[in-house]
Amino acid sequence: MFSLIQRVRSYNDLSRSDSDVDLVGKVTESEMKRVGSNPEMDPEVEPNKNIAWVRGEALITFYVGILVFLRVFTWLLSLSPHVAWTFINLTHCIITFPFLHWVKGVPFSGLWNDQGIYEKFTFWEQLDRGAQFTTTKKILTVIPILIFCLTIRYDTLWGLEFYVNLAAFLIVIIGKFPLMHKVRLFGINS
């Protein structure tokens, strides 16, 4: 039956095809022996290598560096501040929405013994094993809010550009709400 809202099964509902052991959080004795010889495969650190790089200061530095680069780029093009921030807001929306909230799975599935358990989850849903309100997710939520605040600071309120910026902001921010975690609207991207 077609439903307006569909929830994706949680990590706990997914299991490996070769055993009854749940990959997330539980490790067999034979896997523990292999982990001991290779620290980067430690499941306590992060079993999903797709999201292992998204952590702390490196994330903030990279994210803010890209935004500063875009602002300098718009300054070199001699764009006015409201057009520059609108460009940055729309570029941010066009890049981050598909990357964080649309594309599902792991690009190199099967290389890290994930057995396809991440195929039904977006990048955002994979972050921090699905936990909400973590530092990483807070950073990735606050930055679009700051971009939008800077955009409306230099923009005229209630003009066409405001509504375009508001729509781009809402598209990006609504996908980050805990209420939307593992939810597919109208069966799209399920």
152: nearest Cα among 67, 89, 75, 69: 89
**What pTM was estimated for this model as a whole?**
0.70
Highest-scoring range by mean pLDDT, 7-11, 48-52, 141-145: 141-145
CB 115, CB 18: distance < 8 Å: yes
Helices marked H in the chain — which ranges?
A: 29-37, 56-76, 81-96, 123-126, 135-153, 160-174
65: amino acid identity, one letter: G
Q: Per-residue pLDDT tens for 55-99?
A: 767 788 888 999 999 999 999 999 999 899 999 999 999 999 988
pLDDT value of residue 10: 54
Burial of 168 by CB count in 10 Å (0-12 exposed, 13-18 middle, 19+ buried)?
Answer: buried
Q: Per-residue pLDDT tens for 26-40?
A: 444 444 333 333 344
pLDDT value of residue 117: 74
Residue 140 CB: number of other CB atoms within 10 A? 21
- Assign 3-class secondary structure to 112-152: CCCCCCCCCCEHHHHHHHHCCCCHHHHHHHHHHHHHHHHHH
User: What Å distances lie between residue 189 and 6, 30, 68, 102, 148, CA to CA?
Assistant: 10, 37, 32, 7, 26
* Ranges 22-36, 82-96, 122-136, 153-167: which has the least confidence: 22-36
* Ranges 20-29, 70-79, 167-176: which has the least confidence: 20-29
CB 138, CB 72: distance < 8 Å: no
